[in-house]
């Protein structure tokens, strides 16, 4: 059976700050993400119904993160922590998630592929 990759992209604005060695006051980023799924086509010839995917990201991811204070969601709100959180949340709904990439700047990304 043929396998394909499907990538869902999105963005949201959120705030975070850091203590410890990073020592940054609370500030906002326009985060960008790419979440890639990998698996076989179903009997109808697709991996995921785009409507189901869009509904999940709109209501379970973007609504939760857009204009959020990430410090209230995570004890250590780094981009790395955010990528892992996204992966785990998406994997609970779509077990064939392959990777999550998150960027807070256009020139660097964090990529998480689960426990390898």
Q: Flag whether 59 is marked binding.
A: no
Token pair of 112 as six digits: 């998480």
Token pair of 54 as six digits: 């869009």
Contacts of 67 (CB under 8 A, 6+ apart): 12, 13, 14
> Tokens 């999940």 appear where?
56
Report whether 114 contacts 87 (CB < 8 A).
yes
Alpha-carbon distance of 90 to 101, in angstroms, equals 13
Q: Flag whether 67 is marked binding.
A: no
Q: What residues are designated binding site?
A: 27, 29
Binding residues for Zn(2+): 27, 29
């Amino acid at each position: 059976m043929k396998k394909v990759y499907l990538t869902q992209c999105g963005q949201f604005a959120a705030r975070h700050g850091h203590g410890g060695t990073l020592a940054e006051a609370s500030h906002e980023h326009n985060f960008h993400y790419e979440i890639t799924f990998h698996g076989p086509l179903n009997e109808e010839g697709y991996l995921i119904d785009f409507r189901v995917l869009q509904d999940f990201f709109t209501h379970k991811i973007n609504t939760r993160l857009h204009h959020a204070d990430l410090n209230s969601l995570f004890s250590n709100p780094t981009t790395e922590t955010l990528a892992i959180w996204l992966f785990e949340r998406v994997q609970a709904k779509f077990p064939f998630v392959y990777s999550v990439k998150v960027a807070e700047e256009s020139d660097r990304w964090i990529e998480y592929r689960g426990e390898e």
